[in-house]
Structure formats: C-alpha cells, structure tokens
Chain A
Amino acid sequence: MSAPEMHATQAPVVDLEELQHARAQRRDKIAKWSLPILMLGLAIFLWDRIVVWNEIPHYILPGPGLVIQTLIEDWGMLSDALWVTLKITLMALGVAVVGGVGLAVLFTQSRYFEMAFYPFAVILQVTPVVSIAPLIFIYVDSRLAGLLLCAWIVAFFPILSNTTLGLNSTDHNLRDLYKIYGATRWQRLRYLQLPTALPYFLGGLRIAGGLSLIGAVVAEYVAGTGGIGSGLAFRILEAGYRLNIPRMFAALILIAATGVVIFTFASLLSHALLHKWHESAIKREN
C-alpha cells in the first residue's frame, strides 16, 4: 500500500539504462558539430606545421596562412571569377532541373517515348564530358551556351533517373483508387505522381548540384577564357602557369566552398519540403 504513495512523491523513476541513454544522446549531439570542426582545425594545423617544420617553399606547398592572405589580397579578381563560375553552375543546375524533370514526365507519360530516348540519355551520361567539351566549343558559337551545355550534360542525368524512378513508384492501390474515381492523366500526374517523386527528385538534386559545379569547372578548363570573363577554373590554370601556387589553393578553396554551400542549400530545401510527412525526416525514438 505504501510503496505507490512513496513513488508518487518522488521524481519520475529513471533507471540506470535510461540515464546512460540520455547521456549518450547528449554526447552525440555535441560531437555532431564539434568533432568535424575539431578535425578540420587539426588538419589545417598539421598542414601549417608540416610546411613550417620541413621549410617547404611556398611555390611547392603554401601554408594555410599564406593561402588565406592570398585569398584576401586577390579577392577582387577571385570574387569576379567566383561569380562567373557560380552563375554558370546555377544556370546549368536550373536547366538540369527543368530538362531532367521535363524528360522524366515525358518518359512516364509515354512508354514509347522512354524506349526511344532513354538510350540517348545514357550515352550522354556515360561519355566523359571532357571528351565532348572540345567538340561543343567547336560547334557552339556562344561561349556561355557552350559552358551551360557541358554543365547540363553532367548534371541532368541524376535528376532524370531519380525523378523517373519516383514517378513510377506510386502506390498501386492509390493508382487503382485514382482510376476508380475517374482521374485524368493530368490529375494523376499532379496529385499522385509528382508528390510521390518529390523525395526522389530532391535526392537527385543534391547530386546534381555538385555535378553542375564539376561540369562548369571542367567546361572552363576546356574553353579557356573568353568574352564573358574568366571563372575560377581558368584562374587556377593561369595561376599554375605562373607558379602562383597560393592563388591556386585560394581558388580551389572557393570552388570547394561553393560545392558545400550548394549541397547545404539542397539539403535545407529537402528538409523544408519533406519534414512534415516523409519517413526520411522522421526521428524515431530509441
């Protein structure tokens, strides 16, 4: 009789296992942010020490301090280049989204269309863009169009294949239900297939974001400089010819940072669109 009364006055009962579990969770939360930052800082520190201890000359391997200094000193030129590369990348990504989703929708609307054109998509995807790019710049007069085309070829395929898979992944019972209620093709696409494909598309977008940057950089290497100003890749080439290694590193860091930012944006977009309903965004207890 007295035991439950005693418990009632006490704090909620928490056993040892739960305490350990809670502690482990708190630790995980801290480590999730602190560990990557710590490791990154450690790597930069080691890089600096290796350069200093071995007295490596800056035209072979500059230290991190010098790279940052160069980044600041050359910011005028590098920021222009960053803007050029970023513009090409984002435009290519935009065209990849429109082209990839558009083709995927056409593929799912007509099996024959898919049979006819899927091989072309695969051929474009498996052929290295470096080997097509010189031809593109021979045939396409506009440099901007050429750069865009190269970046698009690399970026559109993950969006196309993911979205196609998504559009074809609708629940078969829901498909029956739509049929029973007399849904039109357009209604089925809009209310059923596109929402089903959304998580797949967003997965493709994350990959395509990185790939469009790669496509833009590769295209710049091939195209060299031209009427529309020079991007980061061209700056790297140019700095390499002049043995300006610190500037090569500075431009490289900007490219990597751009990639990280694009990936982060794609991830945030994914979270914003899916967190209310999709399994991937649900945190399970335990």
Chain B
Amino acid sequence: MSDHSLIPPMGQRDELLRMTDVDKVFNGNVEALKNLNLTVNQGDFISLLGPSGCGKSTALRLIAGLMRQTSGQIKWNGGLNEGDLGVVFQEPTLMPWATVEQNAWLPHRLRGKSLDDVRGDIMWALKMVGLEKFQKSYPRELSGGMKMRVSIARALVTQPRLILMDEPFAALDEITRHKLNNDLLMLRDKLKCTVIFVTHSVFESVFLSDRIVVMAARPGRVSAEVSVDAPYPRTEEFRTSAQYAELCRKASDALHGAMNQHGERASA
C-alpha cells in the first residue's frame, strides 16, 4: 500500500487469479455458469455486467469460496491466504449491535486480533472512506451511503489483494451513487487495489472499470469483453464527455448483443 507507483497499463500487469473452463450446475440441470474463462490481473478494475440470471453473482461466490465449481479450475497466483479477500454486498450488511469501529474490526477479530492491536488499521480504513469521526456511531445513526462506506472500510481493513463488490450501490439514490463511484475510484487510485465489481448498470460499469466482462444468461456465460480505454483518474467531467457516451454505447451494444443471443436461442 505504500507503493506510490502507478498501476501498470493493461497487458503489463501480473496475474492474480485465473478461472479456467468453470462450470456451475444447480440441482443437476440449471446451468448457472458454463465455460467461464476469466483472468484477473493485479490492478484490474473489472465489471461483470449482465442481465439477472447471467451468473455474475455466482461467479463472485465461486471466487469468494462460498461455493465450489462443478468443474473447471480457479487458481490464485500465490494461493489464497487469510485477508486476501474483501467483500462488499448489495446491502451494507453491518452488525446493528456493533459500532462502526467494531464492524470494521470484524475481519481482524475473526483472526483473533484484539481491537487495540488493529486500531491503526481500522482508523486507516475509516479515514479512507471519510468516516474517521464516526467510529463510535451505531449503524442506525448513519445514512445509507455512510453505511455502505463502513462496509467498504471493513473490506479494506485487511488490505486485501482482491475486493469483490456485488452491486454495492444499486440500492442507493443516484446522487449518493455518483459520489461513491467517484470515491471508489479515488480509493483505487490510492491503494492500487484490484476490484471485481458486479453491476447491471452500463453507465456505472463504464465509469468505473478498465474492463467490462459482459455476460449472458441461460446458461450463464461470458458473451463479450469491452475494454474501457479512458485514462484514470476519471472525474465528473468524464461523465459528461463524448468519450464516455461513446463507451457507454459500446457497452450497451454488447449487453444487448448478450441479451439477443439468448432471445435467438429461445425463438429458434
């Protein structure tokens, strides 16, 4: 994290995680994922974009180790160690009986570390999301956006190699979502972290990521990959630029392509 160098351009990044021919079948006949191939490199900001039922959340759960693939391989460069993963869900998923600080303590606490030992890490993570003044607050005292920030701080606290985000801002209002999008990019710039971001918003995926993996449903699979060649840091100006509009159209076309593939199959 003390590394102040830039994230190397795509193509020159070290491999972090590789999924090869991953299938996931539910109940013997529902193909949630078919033949998923995905390589995640250090410093990537990847969006998984697709309609519901395309298996993007399943892919995330497989990477998180919450379920096991039916076949295929998921390989971590250097193996998966404690604290390598940070996860942010669609809901803030905070413990209501615990203060902000205690919530952010959780990943360390489950590894047997006392609050005093890791207070530095916790304050650092809360500072990263701009909540250092709220360490003693309870979740119910915070707004929806602030709760989500606590959730992000909790994911950051172990300085993970990969952060998984499952539609984290989908339930927030647009103004808050834009603000959190901006802040997330700032964080990424500071921390050089690797992110896989699940979303069903074309605009969000283009604004945030350098690679968009477009997925199609039934069976869940990768249908296209769009690279977003806009330089970081991206600011509010980028949102209104012609380049952004063009990239959104590209991603949108890819998404419609993914949905039509399914339509053709259904009508054939």
Using a CB–CB cutoff of 8 Å, the interface residues on chain A facing chain B are: 171, 173-174, 176-183, 187, 191-192, 195, 198, 276-279, 282
Residue in contact with B111 in the complex, picked from A171, A182, A191, A192, CB distance below 8 Å: A182
Instruction: Kindly state whether residue B66 has any CB partner on chain A within 8 Å.
Output: yes
Residue in contact with A176 in the complex, picked from B66, B82, B97, CB distance below 8 Å: B66
Interchain CB contact under 8 A, A278 and B96: yes
Residue in contact with A195 in the complex, picked from B65, B66, B95, B111, CB distance below 8 Å: B95
Instruction: Kindly state whether residue B87 has any CB partner on chain A within 8 Å.
Output: yes
Contacts of B91 in A (CB 8 A): 173
Tell me whether chain A's interface is mostly helix, strand or loop, or mixed.
helix
Chain B residue at minimum C-beta to C-beta distance from A174: B93
Least distance between B210 CB and chain A CB atoms (Å): 25
Instruction: Kindly state whether residue B6 has any CB partner on chain A within 8 Å.
Output: no
Least distance between A253 CB and chain B CB atoms (Å): 39
**Given known contacts A176-B64, A198-B97, what 10 new A-B pairs fall within 8 Å (CB)?**
A176-B87, A176-B89, A177-B93, A178-B110, A180-B85, A181-B107, A187-B109, A195-B98, A278-B97, A282-B140
Chain B residue at minimum C-beta to C-beta distance from A278: B96
Using a CB–CB cutoff of 8 Å, the interface residues on chain B facing chain A are: 61, 64-66, 82, 85, 87, 89, 91, 93, 95-98, 106-107, 109-111, 138-140
Chain B residue at minimum C-beta to C-beta distance from A198: B97
Beyond A180-B64, A182-B82, A191-B109, whether A173 also contacts B89 by CB under 8 A is yes
Least distance between A139 CB and chain B CB atoms (Å): 43
Interchain CB contact under 8 A, A276 and B89: no
Least distance between B65 CB and chain A CB atoms (Å): 7
Contacts of A276 in B (CB 8 A): 97, 138
The listed residue with most A CB atoms (<10 A of its CB), out of B61, B97, B139, is B97
Least distance between B27 CB and chain A CB atoms (Å): 19
